[in-house]
Structure 1
Amino acid sequence: MVAIEVILGDITRLDVDALVNAANESLQGGGGVDGAIHRAAGPRLAKAGAALGPCRPGEAIATPGFDLDPPVRHIIHTVGPVWEGGGSGEAEVLAACYRNALETAGELAAGTVAFPAIATGVYGYPAGEAARIAVRTLRETPTEVEKIFLIAYDEESHEVLRAALAEE
């Protein structure tokens, strides 16, 4: 089983082989973690995203890490579901985000991967439920990835992710 660790910090500052971006469909940058990754990786990331997009919810598309420091080989973009109350297939799409991003990381021979909390910001997915889906999906998806980091940007998110990891 893959090792999973929860970390409080800035996803753009991690020394990993790949990091996952909670992107929008255009892949050209936005707010939250997406905006932070785009700022840290530099303008070539938006150009690469424009050439590859759109990305549908649940899919995963990889680009180089460009100017991230420390250097990251790959950024894996995935688009989470917009929360509509839970009856519109949101859980399945969110699980697909984690599964497809992890499978992409494996295809890229990434040994270490950092994931943000996908869809819990502006897309409105309830944090606790999203964390449980993330942990369950990452544990159930076969992979050659050696270590997964779940990155929390604040103390509240950190506690939610730690609780979900402890439940599994």
Structure 2
Amino acid sequence: MRYGFCDSAIGPLLVAIDKDGLRHVEFVQGERPIQPAPEWLRDDQALAPFIEQFEAYLAGRLQRFDLPLAARGTPFQQAVWQALCDIPYGETVSYLDIAQAIGNPKAMRAVGAANGQNPLSIIVPCHRVIGRNGNLTGYGGGLPIKRWLLALEQEHCGFTLTP
């Protein structure tokens, strides 16, 4: 596993890849901080194309990532993460919406758990999932970062959502 860091307005992000593609985009600070494993190798050159896309997204110049994704998870988690990727830039959906999208409308709590295990923060846009009542719910980087990401997207997609 090779890794690097992306410094941003929302704090440093750990980015890790392997031969299959992007494996981790994690917050170094926040509710569930992560650090590289001792056996991982720092490789800023290999991570440069990935970091460039993060920087463009965080500057409001990129709305959809074009990166090889290689997140590891159960088939259920993979289905949830794929449904997250289908949420348009600047829009939000509820956990119920995601449960319905994967054909299991009673799985809202399981969807929430899979959302919380997403190893590709921002790339797989779990920040776009909110409570059915419109309230912001948990986020690995913390609610202020979730709010910041949603505001960034809404600013650059031309409309504002109201809860």
Q: Same fold (TM over 0.5)?
A: no
Computing the radius of gyration over CA atoms, which structure comes out larger, 1 or 2? 2
TM-score, structure 2 normalization: 0.30
Answer 1 or 2: higher relative contact order, Cα 8 Å, separation at least 6: 1
TM-score, structure 1 normalization: 0.30
